[in-house]
Amino acid sequence: MCGIVGFIGNRDCKEILLYGLEKLEYRGYDSAGIALINEDGVKVFKEKGRIADLREGVDESVMASRGIGHTRWATHGVPSKVNAHPHQSTSNRFTLVHNGVIENYDIIKKAELADVNFVSETDTEVIVQLIDKNVNSGLSVEEAFRKTLSTLKGSYAIGLLDAQDQDTIYVAKNKSPLLVGLGDGFNVVASDAMAMLQVTKQYVELMDKEVVIVKKDSVQILKLNGDKVERSPFTAELDASDIEKGTYPHYMLKEIDEQPFVMRKIISQYQDDNGQILLDEDVRNAMLAADRVYIIACGTSYHAGLVGKHYIEKFAKVPVEVHVASEFSYNMPLLSEKPLFIFISQSGETADSRSVLVQVKEHGYKALTITNVPGSTLSREADYTLLLHAGPEIAVASTKAYTAQLAVLAILAVDVANAKGIKLDFDIIQEFGIIANAMEALCNDKDRFDMLAKEFLSTTRNCFFIGRGIDYYVCLEGALKLKEISYIQAEGFAGGELKHGTIALIEDGTPVIALSTQEHVNLSIRGNVKEVVARGANPCIISIRGLENDEDSYTVPAVHEDFTSLVTVVPLQLLSYYAALHRDCDVDKPRNLAKSVTVE
């Protein structure tokens, strides 16, 4: 969480920093700030709220060609102007932005900085005060920076300015993402290439516990012990237009609409010239060697993992367990003899998942990451990667990444089934084409979902989603989507489970959204709907062509029974979207959340 940017070069950088921070708002948006350095010294501008609020407070007349900036998701201390970054040392010599969490900040404060008067409640302020103290003890700034970093426990991506040296931005990274971008006569720093695409596509990746001395025409990477590191830059395969909303009112709606395109893109990426599924041979062999697959993920990616379990067990006949990363990390179950770990993560940066990956690697187990972000931490640190090819997902609520995750998991399962000679009753490439068309039809029916959202969700306090089998897994995802952007208390349940307690919450008019796409449980789920209706619920049944009934609120186009999740999730995404609009919620930036959860 939190995003940082920096610029050092040949032109005024206020707008570059502010624009970059806007592109990083998905990482946190409760307060923001920039620091500019020129011959008059360092000027800091901070505000509680969004980058738009910060913009209003920045003095247009200050010209500076060096600066750093930050957009915050609060961990230590409430969102406020005082707690917003950049933070300065008491002497005002050093100014710093930080993304991450310093676990031992309190110990450092008491042991080394007892005489310092701290102004904020943040863990970050400890870093800048300690650098100042170390410089005062006689070290050079670079030495003091490296010494301070060696003292820190936790995660950090840091940008540091020294008021006595206008020609350098000091940068460091551990566990939090950070890139240095290269330009002609300037260099930049950013948590994500998206922030600086307007000025460069050339980036240097940084490894954990590296320090970078960034000047306008040079970039020097060092290890914490001062050893020099050489690394070639890479070109970001992103286009500035990929990250714009275009004519859409919200990124979420744009990303929902992109799903048919993403399905077709995935087909093309995982297909050979003969129209057969094509997967990295190493990934296939790792799957074939495993006696059990452990899927580790969080939030929406965890929900995708549940559907992935269905694919892998049913098609490839490999047993699968799906675990929430934050639990697995501290409560590892008894493992099989030859486990393969699959990490599912849109961002590839989720701290809870990474913490499991670190443990898995310590045990010497193999790991595959399924992610949307090439070069992300989880991708780099796993043995294998499968990419989602979904394009940047910017709305906090994950939509196209979820369907892309299902698609890639299905391809993986089918590929392993093929390798084992297991006959399947479908051609996945053909099925994906049908699914893409069905998604398109649903996206073209937005008015209907707007009306349903108005009818069922515009004023309700709570909402239940029920389904059985893979419909149940989609219900979990539908409920998460609804609660995170509309703040309606929403829960997904297995259809048969509600009567074991939760049915007590059903009151007159409580909306219950039921999915029915599986023939073998169609009658049972409809029976469960009758049970809640008898207690006053307002049912919204979403069925599939072939199983529809007069009482249904919506029927999605027919697709193969094993792949209905790829289609039924679209109405749930759109219902959530319109519910949030009807309730005047900020769709793309819901309260308390951030897109990339880089703290445990």
Contacts of 313 (CB under 8 A, 6+ apart): 319, 320
In the complex, which residues of this chain contact ligand M6R (CB under 6 A)? 298-301, 345-347, 350, 353, 396-398, 480, 484, 597
**Least Å distance between CB 367 and ligand M6R?**
14
CA distance 18 to 24: 10
In which order are the strands placed within the sheet that holds 511-516?
A: 489-494, 462-467, 511-516, 538-544, 554-556
Helical (H) or strand (E) element with 439: helix 428-443
Nearer to ligand M6R, 467 or 478 (CB): 478
Name the amino acid, one letter, at 234: F
Nearer to ligand M6R, 65 or 353 (CB): 353
Told to judge if 298 belongs to the known catalytic residues of this protein, a careful annotator would answer no
**Least Å distance between CB 379 and ligand M6R?**
12
Nearer to ligand M6R, 65 or 329 (CB): 329
**Least Å distance between CB 32 and ligand M6R?**
21
CA distance 25 to 32: 9
Helical (H) or strand (E) element with 308: helix 299-311
Contacts of 215 (CB under 8 A, 6+ apart): 8, 167, 168, 187
Nearer to ligand M6R, 345 or 522 (CB): 345
**Least Å distance between CB 373 and ligand M6R?**
8
Q: Which residue has its beta carbon closest to ligand M6R?
A: 299
Told to judge if 48 belongs to the known catalytic residues of this protein, a careful annotator would answer no
**Least Å distance between CB 216 and ligand M6R?**
34
Catalytic residue among 2, 298, 475, 585: 2
Nearer to ligand M6R, 480 or 544 (CB): 480
**Least Å distance between CB 569 and ligand M6R?**
11
Beta strand segments in 175-269, E:
179-182, 187-190, 202-205, 210-215, 218-223, 228-229, 234-235
Joined tokens for residue 352: 């809870």
Nearer to ligand M6R, 353 or 385 (CB): 353
Nearer to ligand M6R, 177 or 299 (CB): 299
Contacts within 8 Å (CB) and 24+ apart, 116-123 = 116/90, 117/90, 119/82, 120/77, 120/82, 120/83, 120/87, 121/76, 121/77, 121/78, 121/82, 121/83, 122/76, 122/77, 122/83, 122/85, 122/87, 123/75, 123/76, 123/154
Asked if 551 and 498 count as a contact pair (C-beta separation under 8 A), the reply is no
**Least Å distance between CB 424 and ligand M6R?**
28
Catalytic residue among 173, 254, 589, 595: 595
CA distance 260 to 441: 10
Would you name the residues annotated as active-site residues? 2, 595
